[in-house]
Amino acid sequence: MNRPIEPTSPSRQWLAPRRLALPWVLWVFGLSTTLLLVGLWGRAVTIDQTTIAQSTEAALSADLVTDRVWDWIGEGLSANESISPVEADRVLDEVRDRPEALGAVDALVDQVVEVLVAPPGAETTIDVAASLAPLVPEVISGLAAQGVDVPAESVEATVDSLDPVALDTGEAISVGVVTEQARGLLTLGVLATAGMLLLFGSIAVAISEDRWPMLRGLATRIAFSAASFAVLFRFGGWVLDPDGGGSPLRRSGAILVASNLHVFVIIGCVAALIAAAIWIVRRPEQKGNSTPVTHEQINDDTSTQELVSI
């Protein structure tokens, strides 16, 4: 008995394995996209000194640093023989909320931030006396309100006698050292994930049945992933500190998370442009291939098939 069979082409032999492998390749491609986007954003954050300084300053607005500043002032006043510790505490309570006092504290916090974000080997000394000099008139008026008559020269000498504070900016606490180390690790991660993205993207295009639509689909995936991360990080920054008045650590985290979102926007726009360009270039060809097949063409194709007898 003879029956016609159609010979199997090599491309058809590999069709099933390719269809089986493609979902896994696309999964690794998607994972590489996620790691690359996060790595590029993280590296941009480590380079953005302004954002790092703002985040560090928000964290240093905690009561720990503020109380330490007032301890310096109290120690200086208590060192004056004309001022008792009780009178010094009363003066501090009175001038603590004055604009001049808040400005002096902010100046000291700014110096602490500069020291922490500075690279290793930079100057690490905080001039406490110079920062607290604007408080001298306020302290004198506070002492006068308490009935304590102290010469202005004595208070100025007390403030001037405050020693500069040298902070230990070793690798344990230095923000500058931490960001430098993180930048190096993120750079290696970006290079590795970029290689994975190109590798598995190329494999996906190579094993797909139609390569141009696959390439357009990969670009579209990157564009949507970048847009999703931009929205997610912006929303995450709002969730960390929705009213802008949360704890110092929450404010610090919100500043970091919501920063440098332009990285996602740029990558998303570039990927979207690539996908749009492929769609525009391929559209005329797709229209040309969409003409309906006639009955005569079907008969012609059927009559030309090779038949093998067995």
* CB < 8 Å & 24+ apart, contacts of 59-62: 59/248, 59/249, 59/251, 59/252, 60/109, 60/112, 60/113, 60/116, 60/248, 61/109, 61/248, 61/251, 62/247, 62/248, 62/249
In this model, does residue 295 exceed pLDDT 50?
no
pLDDT of residue 144: 73
Q: pLDDT band at residue 240, thresholds of 50, 70 and 90?
A: confident
Please, are residues 67 and 248 in contact by the beta-carbon 8 Å criterion? no
* CB < 8 Å & 24+ apart, contacts of 144-150: 145/94, 146/87, 146/90, 146/91, 146/94, 148/82, 148/83, 148/87, 150/80, 150/82, 150/83
Ranges 58-62, 240-244, 256-260, 300-304: which has the least confidence:
300-304
Q: And the tokens for 301?
A: 């194709």
In this model, does residue 220 exceed pLDDT 80?
yes
For residue 166, which phi and psi values (nearest 5 degrees)? -100, 115
Please, are residues 40 and 193 in contact by the beta-carbon 8 Å criterion? no
In this model, does residue 68 exceed pLDDT 50?
yes
SS3 294: coil
In this model, does residue 303 exceed pLDDT 60?
no
Q: pLDDT band at residue 247, thresholds of 50, 70 and 90?
A: confident
Stated pTM of the model: 0.69
In this model, does residue 182 exceed pLDDT 70?
yes
pLDDT of residue 81: 65
- Per-residue pLDDT reduced to its tens digit, 118-177: 766 665 677 777 777 777 777 777 777 766 666 667 777 777 776 666 665 454 456 777
Q: And the tokens for 6?
A: 């159609």
SS3 307: coil
